[in-house]
Amino acid sequence: MSHAHKPLAEQVIVITGGSSGIGLATARMAARAGARVVLASRNGEALAAIQEEIEAAGGEATHVVADVGRREDVQAIADKAVQRFGGFNTWVNDAGISIYGRLEEVSDEDHDRLFQTNFWGVVYGSLVAAPHLRRRGGAIVNLGSIASDLAIPLQGMYSASKHAIRGFTDALRAELEQDRAPVSVTLIKPAAIDTPFPQHARNYLDREPKLPPPVYHPDEVAHAILHAAVYPQRDIIVGGGGRAMTGLKKLAPGTFDRLGAVMAGQQLRAEPPRDPNGALHRPTQDGHVRGDHPGMVRHTSTYTRAKLNPLTTGAVMAGVGFAAAALMKRRA
């Protein structure tokens, strides 16, 4: 869809995974812009505190305790939005989880649970939201990853789930466009983002995981999500470093594969695991946007901001292409 949707101040926005990280950053940013927000996650205590915080600041919010891997729970989110606010204009499928470990060492049960949350959570959210949005217009915003375009060693099934999300999102968009439905579908593909992502992940490794550089602030993803809620785009990569990596993967896939050992080492801290079980099967501590990444965190991405402003995209894309080529040359 090429047209703009309602301004944020006139929207009701549903956000799954709204109790921490990108989802929480998006909820706070949307509420500050005047949107009414519907938050969903498995952690009712954290959701209640976030709702109270938003309302204390003059915003409007409600919450639903839900496991996005269960379609009936996702339907309950939509029902609450209709009951409380009369409907919704944007649905953000943000809930997700990862597993750190070699594919052969991870249990089938854990692999299945990850896919139930990451992939089926997006499917259920999209298919529950679409009929409502067909009638009134609006946006579906799905959270993929740069792992939708490349594979990350030690996070193999996470990468597979994000590839699956891209395929589903593209098919859903094509079917809605075929019907000329007034619904935009955007795939957001963040690079590494400083959220509690590593701590929430199930960890099979003998060291505490961390994010590989470059790492970006969660607000940069929230900004992209809310931009897509008003000004639809097909997909948005958040982080120029991520765009350079996907460019290298496309230009020289064999070279990129040989970087696997480097990528694996960049995901490990020099300390033992803190909570190997993470939040894969149960909610854990929530209520935090930021993680505790030990290195530099970039607060904005010049590439992403330019991508959201087409007048400057050409120059930035040229710069990204040169960066990818230089990286390929150094690694060859």
> Which residues carry out catalysis?
158
Buried-state track 115-127, b at ≥16 Cβ within 10 A, e below 16:
bbbbbbbbbbbbe
d(CA 12, CA 82): 10
3-state secondary structure of 91: strand
d(CA 144, CA 159): 9
d(CA 279, CA 4): 37
Using the Cα atoms of residue 288, residue 299, residue 268 and residue 260 in order, give the sign of their dihedral: positive
Residue 200's closest CA among 192, 209, 213, 191?
A: 209
DSSP string, 110-163: HHHHHHHHHHHHHHHHHHHHHHHHHHH-EEEEEE--GGGTS--TTBHHHHHHHH
